Structures are given as structure tokens and as C-alpha cells.
Structure 1
Amino acid sequence: MEHATTPVKSPVWVPILGLTIFAVASGYFMSVLPLTLASHQIPNVAAGWLASIYYFGLLAGAMLIEPVIKKVGHRIAFMGFVGILASSVAFMGLTSTLGLWMASRFVAGFAVAGIFVVIESWLLIGDSKEERAKNLGLYMTSLYGGTTVGQFGIGLIGASGALPFIATVTLLIVAMIPAMTAKQANPAQEEHVSLSFQQIMALSKPALIGCLVSGIVMGSIYGLLPLALKAATNNLEQVGSLMAATVLGGMSIQPVLSKLSYRMPKTLLLALMSLLGVFAMGLVHLDNSFGVQIVALALLGMSAFALYPIAITLACDGLESASIVSATQIMLFSYSVGSAFGPVVANYLMHTETGLTGFFFAVLLATAMYMLMVSLRTKPTALAQ
């Protein structure tokens, strides 16, 4: 069992660097996977099911990660989960059978659940809200920055044959190197307390709903947006640029979120971010030109990628460090429920007149209305809520 023996502050660069390289690989593979279906003789309709089975894996893993971290520590757990993810991608590159691909994506989702819980709890351990906010800002910037870079792989590496799988596995192996070389990198707090049922039920309801909606939107963005864009443009370079604009928008909003979360109630901030996405989808409905799409998808990225960090910090406000791993599992579970079912509904609506933009519009508008009502009921002194 691997435990820190002294309360030395964990070097933040280890999880951040590993996360960044992982994000490049994951961002590229998540976006390129729907585009590889044709070259493997798999029907495009399978894109929604592959996205959903991945998030069902995320859902299954979300509640089973804490014992692993308790047993081996954050560093070893991170390397193990990245290794499992790399193996699942390599296996997909060796077969073109849809059933085996779905099994591999389920395993991949399980592994990614582990990666997220490990990194989030690694960075959120600490009793200072300011430290948590700073580290989470680094986390989201690294995650979305790496994911943005990964989008350009669609044009540079391509979307057919074995090359996407080889490139992804190579990057995932590189992502393990920081944790492999920094053997004393575990966070000082290695004792973890599971939340009781009563404590889980006492967690912020807006935080749980924020994570749920984030999963619905993000699962649909990664699982179906590349296909929707390809159908509209039939140009892989434009698809890569539009996906990059979406993720870059999400990355650019992160420093602003860190400042705004201390200046207004988090429920109001969740409402404003949701309304930003509603506005973005309205733009696409009015004008579907490439330039407007770039702007609209960047705004959608700001909206969608903002929900999870705001919600998870809302959930962790007031919690002790020992409870952070358990709390992040619960939030990831909520996110995973949305991610698992969102693409199924979105896939159906994508073939209707409203399309994917109508789906995003409806989900984000409903979220904004709920968060506004909660914010109006919140006492002015409870700004952290």
C-alpha cells in the first residue's frame, strides 16, 4: 500500500502534466471516433450507442473508484487507469466488430471515471477554498487546453485506418511518465472517509443537477456533434476547427469562472452559463454560416464546459479533505447518468427538424430556469451556495 509518510504538499505539476497529455489523446480520440466508423464498415447510427456505452462505463466506474485509491494511492491509481484506457483503444484498433467496440468503450469509460476521480480529488484535497478553486482552475484549463489541441489531430492525423488508434495509445503511454518518475507525488491527505447516505442526500441539489446537465450536454457534444458538423460541411478540417472552437471556448472561460464564483452565488452563475448556451444555439438557428458557427460553438463550449467545475466546487464547499474523494465520486456519478442517456435522446432528435441545436437549446433553457429559481430562493448572505 502506498501512503505519504509526511504532510508534504503534493507537487501539482504531476497530475496536471499527466492530465494535459491524457486530454490531448482523449480529445482527439473522442472526436475522431464517430468519423472512423465508415472506414471500419460500422454504420453511423452506432455513434450514439458507442457514446452511450462509454458513459455507462463511466457511470459504473464512478462508484467503484474510491476503494482503489484507498488501496494503492493516487499516483499508482492514475497510471493503472490510463493503462487500462490505452489497452481498450489498442484493442479497438485490432478489430472492426461493433460488439467488441462497444465492450471496449465500456471499459474505456470505466477507466476514464478512475482518471477523473483520481485527478479531481488529488487537486481538491486541501481545506482552503481558495486553494481548491485555484487547483480546479488549473485542472479545467489543462483538461480543455489539451482537448483543444487534440481536435487538430483530426486534420493532421486523419480519421481512417489504424493511425488514430496508434497515435492515441502512444499519447496515453506518454501521459503516464510524470507519475512514473515522481514516486513521492501522492497528496499528503491519503485517509478517505466515505459519505453516508444522509450526507449524500444533504449534498447540494443544484450541484447534482449541474453535473447531470453537464453530462447530458458534454456526452452529446463529444458523441454526436462531430457527425452533425460533418453532415453539414463534409470537410474534416472544418469539423476539426469547429470542435476546437467549442473546446477552446470552454477553456477560455475557466479563469473567469474562478473570479466570478467568489462574487456571485454559484447557482446564479450556473443559470448565466446555461443562458449563454441558449443564446449560442439561437445564433446557429438564425445564421448557419461557418463564421457564425465558430462563434456560436465557442459560446456553447463556454456554457457546457463551465457547468461541471461550478457544480463540483459548489458540492465540495464546506466538506473536509477526507470526504473529497467520496464527493467527487458522487458528482461524477451524476455527470455519468446524464452522459449515458443524453446521447441516446440527442441521437433521436438529431434526425428531426430541430436537430442537435434544438436539443441543446431545450436542455440548457430548462437548466437556466431551474437555477434562477433556486438562486432567487437563496438568502443573499449565502453567496457560496
Structure 2
Amino acid sequence: MVKSLLPLTALLMGSAFLLFAGGVNSLILPIRGEAEGFSAAALGLLGTGWAIGYVAGCLRTPALVAKVGHIRAFGAMCAIAAIAVLMSLLLVTPWVWVPVRALSGFCFAAAAMVVESWLNERADAASRGRIFGIYTMVNLMATTAGQMVLTLGDASGFFFFVLAAMVYCLALLPTAISATTTPRPLTQVSLNLPALWKNSPIAVFAVLMVGISNASFGTLAAVYAARIGLPLTDIALFASIPILAGAIMQLPVGIASDRYDRRVVLLGIAVLALVADVLFITVGGAGPLVAMGLAALFGATVFTMYPMIVAHANDHAEPGSFIQVSGGLLLVYGVGSIVGPSVAGFAMTSFGTSSLFLTTGFAHVLLILFAIVRIRFAPAVAPDDKGAFQAAPLARISTPETVALAADQEELEADQPDIVDQVGRPDPADMPSVDET
């Protein structure tokens, strides 16, 4: 197993550097912005800008790569992302930070898609699941490490901005000096809302609400933590614990959703998320231990919903539509991510710090009501028609290429037969040697 993974080291290192820098950048901006006196509304727009850029990157990167090639596109995106971080340091104003954050989102999506396309090329039928699992684990560890590194210094200086920019530059080195062959064309998906709604109305509505909720929290959690008086170390923990809790809980939630009606399981998880919202509003400021416990409960619920929703949608999907359905839902999640942070930011500015969880709570209430209606009036999927639940990385760092990497070989061939015929199945014997990487 180790021997088969060594040729992928360069790609995994590039991805780890990319996610580490992204973790640093995503947390230092709201913390520094709060210290500079930015309003919550302005800080919420950072999340909206990121989501706009990220969705645009998912949609436009295939054409960009087709024109200039994978390596040039990846190197350019990493370089521009580094420049964007440094520009945020030089020009400390929301008028610059919001568009620059959108640029960062585009670059991040484009770079991630290129890395994932290489991994997809290297994955054969026997190793696809293992490679996807390792890739997901690497990204989780790198993102968490990037956020936790903020506990080691002072957010008021330049250190963390420069660190993020340096690591973005490091991300381009492993692929730039690798002899890995150029992979196939990138996966393209479109946002076909009528088709997605016809396939599974609850999946479309639920993933939109989850996008609103999760992006609101992901953007403004650090602002909330700072305003209830947590020190920098605890702020980093407050932002990281939900991600780890969500990753841990995906396994038991997945087992439950495979065994029972996924809509019922989703309803139960949404109710628990609403409980976390209410507790945050009522006792969230009672102290660091209370805040950390509620953050764990919140993350264990909200970060397990997305993969369950995708699994439910694919239970209804026609054969050969896995990538288009999953990729389309990812774009719907992106739409929610555009809306949520700006709404939550304006709510926090107008009604107080706890209004962050009024926003997430409202999204969870709507999800609960819609799920009850669908459970009441639409039949459940027959057990024999259900696919297996598959754990997934955070939706905000997933791309259409992540979806393709997560697909098994039969799904990939059914969804993209022209590409599979063009490049063939990857042969382990054709992988570059350890020396080549």
C-alpha cells in the first residue's frame, strides 16, 4: 500500500500546503478585521466574496486549464492567491478585502481542481476509494493545522499573512518539479435546478439551507468567539472543533442513514442543530468550556448533513448521473454560501452577536419543516435502491473534481464515458516512480 501511494506524495503535499494556507487565511481575516473595528456586516461579506469566487472557479477552471494547461494554471492560481493575501495585509479595509477574498476563492477552487484531477488520473478501480480517503484526511489535517497555527503568535502583526502567502507559494513546488503526466480534462458540471429539483426536492432545499447555515458559521464563528471574550487560542479552537466533530460523526450518521430513511435521519440531525442554535443564543457566552461544548455539538450536526443529502439525492438519480447530481448540489450549496454570511453579518450588526445563531437557526427551522412535509407526502427510498453513504470533505473546499474522485469506477465511466475512452483506465504500471516525484 505504501509503495502504491508514494507516487502521489507530490500531489498530496501540494494539496496539504494549499489547505494549510487556506486555513490560515480564512481565520486570520475575521480575527484581524474584528481587531481593526470592521463591522460584522463587512466581515460577513468576506464569506460571500469567497463563495462567489469559489463557485466561479468551479465553473470556469475547466476552460482555463484547457487553454493554458494544468501546471501553468496551478502555478498561476497559487501565485495570485499569495498576492491576494499580501494585498490584504497592505490595504486593511473592507473595500479591498471583500473583492480580494473573492479572488482568493477563485484561485483556491482552481488550484484544488487541478490537484484533484491529477489524483483522479492516478486512481484506478482498486485504489480510488483509498486515495479519496487519504486525500480527505490530509485536507482535514491541513485545514485544522492552518487554523490552529494562529495560537502561536499575535494576530495584530504581519506574521500570519506572510506565512499564508509563503505556504501558497510552497504549494506550487511539488507539482512544478514532478514528472507526473498531464491528466485528463477537468470535470465540468452545470447548475440545472429543474432537473435537480425533479430528482429530489428535499436534497435541493436542504443543501441550500445547509449552505446558508454552514457558511455563516464558517465565516463569522471567529467574530462571535472574539465578541464573547475568548482569547486567540480559544478562538482557534472554537473554529477547529466543529470541523473535527463533524468528521468524527460522519461514520455513525452514515451508518444510520444507510439503515433508515435518510430523510428521517436528516430531520433528527437538523433538530439537534437547532438545539445547538438555541443553546448558543441562551447560554453561549457562559464561558469557554460551554462555548467549546456547543461548538462540538454544532459541528457534529451541521457538518454531517451535506454528505447525507448527496447520498439521498443519488438514491433517486438515474444511472450515469452521479457526477452531475452531486456537482449540481455542490453549486446549490455554493449559492447558499453566498447568501448566508452576508445575512448573518448584517443580523449581527443590527441585532447583536448572538444573531449569528438566529440566522443558522432560521435555516435549520426551514429545513426541518420541509423535511416533515416530504416525509409525510413522499415515499421513502426502497432499501434495495439505496447506495452506500460516503464520507466527504467539507463542502466549502469541495469541487466537481472532488465529486469525480469520490465516484467509483463504474459511476465515473457512466458519467464521463468520452473521457474514460480518451484516457483509458489508469494503469499502476504507468505511474511515475518514486524518483520521478
Could you tell me which amino acid in structure 2 is paired with residue 277 of structure 1? A
Q: Distance in 2 between matches of 1:261 and 1:185?
A: 39
Amino acid at match of 1:342: G
| CA distance in structure 2 between the partners assigned to 1:349 and 1:42 by the alignment | 14
- Select which of 215, 220, 226 maps to 1:219: 215
Aligned residue pairs, count: 375
Alignment-mate amino acid for residue 247 of structure 2: M
What residue is the counterpart of 1:293 in the other structure? 291
The structural deviation recorded for 1:342 is 0.5
Specify which of 168, 175, 184 is matched with residue 171 of structure 2: 175
Distance 1:258 1:132 in 2: 19
Partner of 1:21: 17
Q: What SS is found at the alignment partner of 1:63?
A: helix
* Further displaced range: 227-236 or 362-371: 362-371
Does 1:336 pair with 2:338?
no
Worse overlay, 48-57 or 267-276 = 267-276
1:165-202 C-alpha deviation (Å, 9 max, x unpaired): 10111122222333234332655x54756669576665
Deviates more, 1:292-301 or 1:174-183: 174-183
Assess, with a 3 A threshold, how the Cα gap between structure 1 residues 17 and 277 changes in structure 2: closer, same or farther: farther
Relative to the length of structure 2, the TM-score reads: 0.72
2:151 to 148, 151, 155: 155
- The percentage of counterpart residues that share the same residue type is 23
SS at match of 2:301: helix
Question: Paired residue for 2:300?
Answer: 302
Instruction: Work out the CA distance in 1 between the residues paired with 2:14 and 2:257.
Output: 27
What residue is the counterpart of 1:4 in the other structure? Answer: none
- Distance in 1 (CA, whole Å) between partners of 2:180 and 2:207 is 32
Equivalent positions of 1:232-247 (< 5 A) are: 232-247=228-243
Q: Using the alignment, how far apart are the partners of 1:276 and 1:338 within structure 2?
A: 21
Kindly provide the amino acid, as one letter, of the partner of residue 218 in structure 1: N
Say whether the 8 Å CA contact 1:277–1:304 is kept in structure 2.
yes
User: In the TM superposition, what whole-angstrom CA distance separates every residue of 1:199-240 from its partner, at most 9, and x where no partner exists?
Assistant: 666554444334423321232123211111111014222212
CA displacement at 1:147 relative to structure 2: 2.0
Q: Counterpart of 2:431? A: none
Structure 2: give runs of 5+ residues left out of the alignment. Answer: 389-437
C-alpha RMSD of the superposition: 3.8
Partner deviation per Cα, 1:126-172 (whole Å, 9 max, x = no partner): 897x9766555444433333222222222213311221210111122
| In 1: Cα distance, 2:253 partner to 2:221 partner | 25
Structure 2 distance, partners of 1:257, 1:301, is 13
Partner of 1:356: 356
Higher mean alpha-carbon deviation, 243-252 vs 200-209, is at 200-209
Relative distance call for 1:323 and 1:243 in structure 2 (3 A) is closer
Equivalent residue for 1:379, pick from 369, 378, 381: 381
| Separation in 2, partners of 1:108, 1:121 | 20
Corresponding letter in the other structure for 2:382? P
The question of whether the paired residues in 1 share the 8 Å contact of 2:114 and 2:186 is answered with: no
Structure 1: distance between partners of 2:127 and 2:266: 21
After superposition, residues 44-63 of structure 1 pair within 5 angstroms as 45-63=41-59
How far has the Cα of 1:107 moved from its partner?
Answer: 0.9
After superposition, the Cα gap between the structure-2 partners of 1:196 and 1:250, relative to the gap in structure 1 and judged at 3 Å, is: closer
Residue 86 of structure 1 corresponds to which residue in structure 2?
A: 82
Q: Contact between 1:265 and 1:384, CA under 8 Å: does it hold in 2?
A: no
Of stretches 367-376 and 45-54 in structure 1, the one that deviates more from structure 2 is: 367-376
Alignment match, 1:5: none
In the TM superposition, residue 87 of structure 1 has moved relative to its aligned partner by 2.1
- Alpha carbons of structure 1 residues 196 and 302: separation in structure 2 relative to 1, 3 Å: closer
When the two structures are superposed, what TM-score results if normalisation uses the length of structure 1?
0.80
- 1:271, 1:134 → 2: CA distance? 31
| Contact 1:193-1:322 at 8 Å conserved across structures | no
Alignment match, 2:434: none
Structure-2 separation of matches of 1:19 and 1:342: 27
2:367 is the counterpart of 1:367: yes
**Are residues 15 and 297 of structure 1, via their aligned partners in 2, closer, same or farther at CA, if it must alter by over 3 Å?**
farther
Secondary structure at the aligned position of 2:351 is classed as coil
Which region of structure 1 is more displaced relative to structure 2, 342-351 or 64-73? 64-73
* Worse overlay, 266-275 or 189-198: 189-198
User: Quick check: 2:191–2:328 contact (8 Å CA) kept in 1?
Assistant: no
Determine which structure has more spread, i.e. the larger CA radius of gyration: 2
Structure 1, unmatched stretches of 5+, are 1-7
User: What is the rounded CA distance, in whole Å, between the counterparts of 2:71 and 2:268 in structure 1?
Assistant: 36
The 1-side partners of 2:31 and 2:367 are apart by 30
In structure 2, distance between residues paired with 1:178 and 1:254: 31
CA distance in 1, matches of 2:358, 2:95: 31
Amino acid at match of 2:332: S
- Alignment partner of 1:35 out of 21, 31, 45: 31
Per-residue deviation, 1:35: 1.6
Matches within 5 A, 1:128-167: 136-167=132-163
